[in-house]
Homo-oligomer: A and B are copies of this chain.
Amino acid sequence: MMTSPTNTESTYTAKAPIDFYFDFLSSYGYFASLRIEEIAQLYGRTVQWHSMLLGVSVMKVMGLKPLLETPLKGDYVLRDTARYIRLHGLTLARKISDPMMDPRPAARAFYWVRRHHLGAEAAFARAVYDRYWRLGKDLSLPHEIAEIAAQNPSLGIDPNELQAGQASETSRQDLREAVALSVDKGVFGSPFILVDGEPFWGSDRLDLLDHWLARGGW
């Protein structure tokens, strides 16, 4: 009975990837980036990574202030992230309160990688996050983007091509279109996850996402 065509149908039906949206600026996005692939794999899902910009969704579309500049909430976020870091035993050279980088070069580089090294963009995103948050490097300048490729040769990306590519009009346009599309889909925070159209906002919803995938929704 277990091997009848009906019961094994699901093995022939590929499950849709999980869409994982993040801003490289976002500590909570970084935290989620460390767990999302593991959760997806538990349920036979792949993850499609999408770099987005909180500066567009939160500040322009929603008309809100940056998180750390919001009275009361800013102080809470400092404590909450410190608590998360302690709980998960992370070591971050960057402090949450350190000045933020301009996230656009890294975000454009992400879309350049997706266009020219399709399949490597998730590993590239993890390398960006690692360099920014764990190692505390600023990635605002083009030569610092090149360093991501230089320091991670397993990515197979030429540093000079990456540095030039992130500045190209095509990469700028790819980022603009990706961010606009994310807003069209209702994505506003980082991390933000879509599973078969169901939205999950925030690293504190990963357990709920896990539960959703385990039950197949409810």
The smallest C-beta distance from A140 to any residue of chain B, in angstroms, reads 27
Asked if A75 lies at the interface with its beta carbon under 8 angstroms from chain B, I say yes
- In the complex, chain B residues whose CB is within 8 Å of the CB of A93: none
A107 to B64: give the CA distance in the assembly, Å: 28
Question: In the complex, what residue of chain B is closest to A72 when comparing beta carbons?
Answer: B188
Partner of A73, one of B62, B71, B72, B73: B62
Report yes or no: B65 in contact with A63, Cβ–Cβ below 8 A. Answer: yes
Assuming A218-B86, A218-B87, is B186 touching A76 (CB within 8 A)? yes
Question: In the complex, what residue of chain B is closest to A84 when comparing beta carbons?
Answer: B208
Asked if A202 lies at the interface with its beta carbon under 8 angstroms from chain B, I say yes
What band does the interface of chain A fall in when counting residues whose beta carbon is under 8 Å from B?
A: 20 to 34
Report yes or no: A57 in contact with B86, Cβ–Cβ below 8 A. Answer: no
Report yes or no: B62 in contact with A70, Cβ–Cβ below 8 A. Answer: yes
Report yes or no: A71 in contact with B62, Cβ–Cβ below 8 A. Answer: yes
Report yes or no: A72 in contact with B76, Cβ–Cβ below 8 A. Answer: no
A202 to B72: give the CA distance in the assembly, Å: 14
- In the complex, chain B residues whose CB is within 8 Å of the CB of A75: 186
The smallest C-beta distance from A99 to any residue of chain B, in angstroms, reads 23
Report yes or no: B79 in contact with A199, Cβ–Cβ below 8 A. Answer: yes
Asked if A95 lies at the interface with its beta carbon under 8 angstroms from chain B, I say no
Taking Cβ atoms with an 8 Å cutoff, the residues of A that contact B are 57, 61-65, 70-73, 75-76, 79-80, 83, 86-87, 183, 186-188, 198-199, 201-202, 204-205, 207-208, 218
